[in-house]
Structure 1
Amino acid sequence: MKLLIDQSPDNEEVEITIKCGMIDPGLEKLIEQIRLYSFSITAKKEGRTYPISLSDIYYFESIDNRTFLYAEHEVYECGLRLYELEQQLTKTDFARVSKSCILNVRMLKSVRALLNGKMEAELENGEKVIINRHYVEKLKRKLGLAGGEKDV
C-alpha cells in the first residue's frame, strides 16, 4: 500500500481518493474510520448550535420524544430521531443497543452479562449503558464477535 500526501496552501479542503483492486475487510474498516472522522452531527445546548464530530460522540439516547447525544462530559440535544441516525450511521462504528439508544462501539471499555440476556456496557468515560437482549447479537456482529463467546 502507498500513502501519498499532497500538502499545499492551494488545497482548499481535504480530499481522499482510494485506488484499489478490491475492497477487503481491512480497507472497509479504514473507509469506515474516514467516514467517522469527516462526519458531524449538529446539536444544541443552552440555545447555541454546535457541530459535534462523530468520533467525539459516546452515544445517542431518546427520552420523551427528544434525542440527546452524549460526549465525554457534555450532553446536547439533537434534532434527528434515532431511526434517522441509525440509517445515517449504518456503515460506522455506531450500533443500536436498545429501543432508545445507539452506541459508539469505539467508546466501549468493557461489557458484562446481566440477567435475562441483557448486557451492561461500560464506556471510556465511566458511564454505563444497558444493551437490550434483542440487540446483543447485532452488537457482537458489529464488534466482529458473532458466533463466538469472546469477551469484548
Structure 2
Amino acid sequence: MRIKLFQEKTLEEDRAEIYYREMTVEIEKVCQLLEGATPQLYGLEDGQQILLKLEEIYYIDTVDKKTFAYLKEQVYQIQGSLSFLETALSQHGFCRISKANIVNIQHIHKVKSEPNMRLKVVLTNQEELVISRYYRKPFQNYLTKVRGILHD
C-alpha cells in the first residue's frame, strides 16, 4: 500500500481519501482508525475468530513474528503488527513499553524501579513486564497525559 501525506495549513478541516481495488481487512482497520472508532481485535481459537474486548486485554506481545493478546486466563493469537496496534490502541489505554510489548494501563497494579534505569510493571494478575529504557519516558508521559484526561 502506498501512502502520501500532504500538509496544507489553509485547510479548515483535516481529511483523508483512500483509493482501493477491493476492501481488505487492512483497509477496514485504517478506516476505523481514521474514524476514531474503537478497534476490534479478533483472537484465534480452534480455527475460529473470537471478538476480544479491549478492556479484558492485559497486554500484547510479539514472539517469532506472531502477535498475542494476553487476557486474565487466556492467550489468543491476533492479527496486526505491534506498531499498527500501538497506534490503533493508544487512545484506548494501551501504551508501548518495549520492543515486543504493549500494556493496557488499566491493568497496571504498580510500577517499580529496576536497575539500569528500567521500570517494571506489575499487572493486576501479578504478571510482571519490564519497561525498557527506550520506552521509559514515553510511558511516563503517556501516564501523565492519561491521568490528566481522567482527572479533568
Aligned to 2:106: 106
Aligned residues: 110
Work out the CA distance in 2 between the residues paired with 1:96 and 1:77.
18
Structure with the larger helix share: 2
Match in the other structure for 1:59:
59
CA contact (8 A) 2:39 2:89 kept: no
What is the alpha-carbon distance in structure 2 between the residues aligned to residue 84 and residue 131 of structure 1? 19
Counterpart secondary structure, 1:126: coil
Partner letter of residue 88 of structure 2? Q
The CA deviation at 1:39 is 4.1
| 8 A contact 1:98–1:130 mirrored in 2 | yes
Gap regions ≥5 residues in structure 1: 1-34, 146-152
Alpha-carbon distance between aligned partners in 1 of 2:82 and 2:60, rounded to the nearest angstrom: 8
What's the CA shift string for 1:42-69, capped at 9, x where partnerless?
1112322100011110110000000000
Q: Distance in 2 between matches of 1:40 and 1:109?
A: 25
Cα distance in 2, alignment partners of residues 128 and 45 from structure 1: 25
Q: Tell me how far apart the structure 1 counterparts of residues 45 and 144 of structure 2 sit (CA, whole Å).
A: 35
CA distance in 1, matches of 2:143, 2:87: 18
Q: AA paired with 1:57?
A: I
- The amino acid across from 1:54 in the alignment is L
TM-score of the aligned structures, taking structure 1 as reference length: 0.68
The residue that corresponds to 1:45 in the other structure is: 45
- Structure 1 runs (4+) greater than 4 angstroms displaced: none
Contact 1:95 1:104 in 2 (8 A): yes
**Separation in 2 of the partners of 1:113 and 1:48?**
40
Q: How many angstroms does 1:90 deviate by?
A: 2.5
The one-letter amino acid of 2:133's match is: R
Structure 2: tracts of 5 or more residues without a match:
1-35, 146-152
Write out aligned runs for 1:1-150 (5 A): 39-144=39-144
Distance 1:76 1:130 in 2: 21
CA RMSD of aligned residues (A): 1.7
Q: Equivalent residue of 1:62, what SS? A: strand
